[in-house]
Chains A and B, each alone.
Chain A
Amino acid sequence: MVHLVRNLVRVLFLVAVLLLTATYGMANVQKQGDPWLDPVVTKGEFDSTTWIKTNTQPTDHFQADIFGGELIMGMTTRIPIVGGDWANAPDPISNMRDSQQIYQTNSAGDAYALCKQYNLSYVFVPLNRQVFCGFGWISINATKFDNSDYFKLKYSNEDVRIYQVA
């Protein structure tokens, strides 16, 4: 009898602990964990990597932000101006600064000059999110890429445009 009561107390205690864990505890885990599950890049950006893989050369370099660049790297092995491991990159801070400048500047000529300086063949332009080149989230000034003297639109969907540097 004493054994039975003692085991009953143990079972009730564990049931209570497990119920609290499954409800309040897991809700807290979800609250903390969910932001880290965010893919950041959009579905259209992901879909565009099939086009990149098929229509660009393995040696082509891309203007992209860190998340876009790593998506391109991961799905196509093409090389972005920023993203990945900066441990022994020659001058990663300049890459970040200039990548951000390509997206932000109003001048198509300035953006083109920077693309040439880094030997970038394509510009990856996300349309439905801000970009992160290393110094915070910024909005893209996308209209300058429509200047066909410097950039040629090669691919587009609802989330992204990809321009070839002329």
Chain B
Amino acid sequence: MRMFESTKWLNKAKIRERLRSLDAVTVLRYVVIVALFILFLSYRLNVLGGYVIPTYGNTMYHVGIERLTLETGHYPTQELSYNGGFPNFYVPAYRLLIVSQAAFTGIDPMVMSGLMTIALAIAVFGVIYAFSKQLLGASAAVCALFFLTLSPEITIFTIRALPELLGLVMFPLTLFFVMKNRKEGPFQFNGYVALSVIAAAVTALTHQITLLILALVLAVYALTQIKNRNEFLKAIVPLVASIAVYGLWQVYSLHTLSILGLSQVRYHEGTPVDFFASAFTVGFFDRAGLLVVPFAAIGLVWLEIKKVEKRFLLYSWVIATLLLTKNDLLGIHIFMDRFLTFFVESLIIAGGVGAFAVLQFLDASIGRAIERDPET
């Protein structure tokens, strides 16, 4: 009560009314969110547990560029990598985020990278909740958080200071704005379109792999909406924005639009993904988690049966990332294991839907049983 007394700018009556109107399911939902958040966060705190942040995945390379940016006051045009002396074309958004926070707080960029890893991991937690809630509601979103907290793949990519981590936030956030834009009728450049364009542009400047995923997901979604001009444009506008922004960046930094000369393409960087891990492959079930797969299948079927609005956005996400994860079957052989992370992210949301459907079925069955025979 004292807390309410001291916050007079809040409408006490409204808050009391809201608290009184909370039903048991809503209270349980909040309890589960808090419990999952504590579990999720507690493991991520390990990032700051050593004398240096986890180093797998070139994390300290990014810290080097951040430190140089802080020391010189500008984003370096030349690389520090591989004996230096060649253009730095790595997109700058993630690094500038760390630089800005380090400059603002005076904290060393290495330590700030660790702190921002935790902050961005929390943002992944938030964006998965927001996307799932927008797709099907709060209960399905809580179920998705359950799979997120238990996901080995998402854990591996949310405990390291990598641009991909910001990508894991910005990519679903862009899709969230596309989904949130429920304006019917002729296409309008409203606030959600503007936000989706900004989020797509930031994604393009965050991580090249994430950009490729975003572009393909939006392209597949646009194709599924080809007969609905409004929905088609909601996908195409951020898609064009992201490609244009990245194209400009690459021309500025490398003086070419071609990516064929890049080492990742030339030397086919990446590990194939198979059902189970081996010496030469990443194991899909090890990384995705066994539990999420059947629930994701149920979720996708359930979305189709219920004809949930905007479900095609999630279908596009699943299809595009699956195609990219198995690009070795198409003879491309690049970054298969990196695309897997985003495929798993889509399965987590679909798994949340599936678990929600199963729980709803069980809850209804138990309810019917209790009502039939209340004495037992």
Chain-B contact segment, one of A83-91, A135-143, A146-154? A83-91
Given the contacts A10-B28, A79-B80, A70 and B39 also touching, CB distance less than 8 Å: no
Contact (Cβ within 8 A) A41 B52: yes
Chain A residue numbers with a CB within 8 Å of B28 are 10-11, 14
Residues of B contacting A: mostly: helix
Contact (Cβ within 8 A) B367 A84: no
Chain B residue numbers with a CB within 8 Å of A119 are 83
Chain B residue numbers with a CB within 8 Å of A26 are 39, 43, 150
Given the contacts A21-B39, A89-B263, A71 and B52 also touching, CB distance less than 8 Å: yes
Which residues, 121 to 167 on B, are CB-close (under 8 Å) to A?
Answer: 146, 149-152, 155-156, 159-160
Given the contacts A33-B155, A88-B86, A95-B82, A25 and B150 also touching, CB distance less than 8 Å: yes
Contact (Cβ within 8 A) A88 B254: yes
Contact (Cβ within 8 A) A84 B80: yes
Contact (Cβ within 8 A) B43 A18: no
Chain B residue numbers with a CB within 8 Å of A88 are 79, 86-87, 89, 254, 261-263
Answer yes or no: B293 CB below 8 A from chain A CBs: no
Chain B residue numbers with a CB within 8 Å of A17 are 146
Chain A residue numbers with a CB within 8 Å of B304 are none
Nearest CB of chain A from residue B370's CB, rounded to whole Å: 5
Answer yes or no: B103 CB below 8 A from chain A CBs: no
Residues of A contacting B: mostly: helix
Nearest CB of chain B from residue A101's CB, rounded to whole Å: 15
Contact (Cβ within 8 A) B50 A39: yes
Contact (Cβ within 8 A) A6 B146: no
Contact (Cβ within 8 A) A77 B68: yes
Chain B residue numbers with a CB within 8 Å of A25 are 149-150
Answer yes or no: B219 CB below 8 A from chain A CBs: no
Bound CA span A22–B68, Å: 41
Answer yes or no: A81 CB below 8 A from chain B CBs: yes
Contact (Cβ within 8 A) A74 B152: no
Chain A residue numbers with a CB within 8 Å of B289 are 28
Chain A residue numbers with a CB within 8 Å of B254 are 88
Contact (Cβ within 8 A) B374 A2: yes
Which of A18, A61, A70, A92 contacts B32 (CB under 8 A)?
Answer: A18
Which of B56, B60, B89, B152 contacts A32 (CB under 8 A)?
Answer: B152
Contact (Cβ within 8 A) A29 B262: no
Chain B residue numbers with a CB within 8 Å of A80 are 80, 83
Chain B residue numbers with a CB within 8 Å of A22 are 35, 39
Q: B282-313 interface mask toward A, CB cutoff 8 Å, 1 = contact, 0 = none?
A: 00001101000000000000000000000000
Chain B residue numbers with a CB within 8 Å of A36 are 54, 56, 156, 159-160
Answer yes or no: A30 CB below 8 A from chain B CBs: yes
Bound CA span A87–B260, Å: 10
Nearest CB of chain A from residue B288's CB, rounded to whole Å: 11
Chain A residue numbers with a CB within 8 Å of B22 are none
Of residues A3, A6, A43, A86, which shows the largest number of chain B Cβ atoms within 10 Å of its Cβ?
Answer: A86
Contact (Cβ within 8 A) A70 B58: yes
Contact (Cβ within 8 A) A39 B32: no
Answer yes or no: B185 CB below 8 A from chain A CBs: no
Contact (Cβ within 8 A) A84 B58: yes
Contact (Cβ within 8 A) A32 B156: yes
Chain B residue numbers with a CB within 8 Å of A93 are 267
Q: A56-98 interface mask toward B, CB cutoff 8 Å, 1 = contact, 0 = none?
A: 0000010000010011011101111111111111101101000
Which of A39, A85, A86 contacts B51 (CB under 8 A)?
Answer: A39
Contact (Cβ within 8 A) B89 A87: yes
Given the contacts A40-B55, A89-B81, A83 and B36 also touching, CB distance less than 8 Å: no
The 10 residue pairs across chains A and B that have the minimum distance between CB atoms: A84-B81, A74-B60, A73-B64, A74-B63, A32-B152, A89-B82, A70-B60, A84-B61, A79-B84, A33-B155
21 A-B pairs in the complex with CB atoms less than 8 angstroms apart: A2-B367, A5-B374, A6-B367, A10-B28, A17-B146, A26-B150, A29-B150, A37-B46, A38-B54, A39-B52, A41-B52, A71-B60, A73-B80, A83-B58, A85-B88, A87-B90, A88-B89, A88-B262, A88-B263, A90-B86, A95-B82
Q: Which residues of A contact B (CB under 8 A)?
A: 1-3, 5-7, 9-11, 14, 17-18, 21-22, 25-26, 28-30, 32-33, 36-41, 43, 46, 61, 67, 70-71, 73-75, 77-90, 92-93, 95, 118-119
Name 16 extra pairs, CB < 8 A, besides A77-B68, A86-B82.
A6-B366, A22-B35, A29-B151, A32-B152, A67-B55, A70-B60, A70-B64, A81-B82, A84-B64, A86-B263, A87-B90, A87-B262, A88-B87, A88-B262, A92-B263, A95-B83
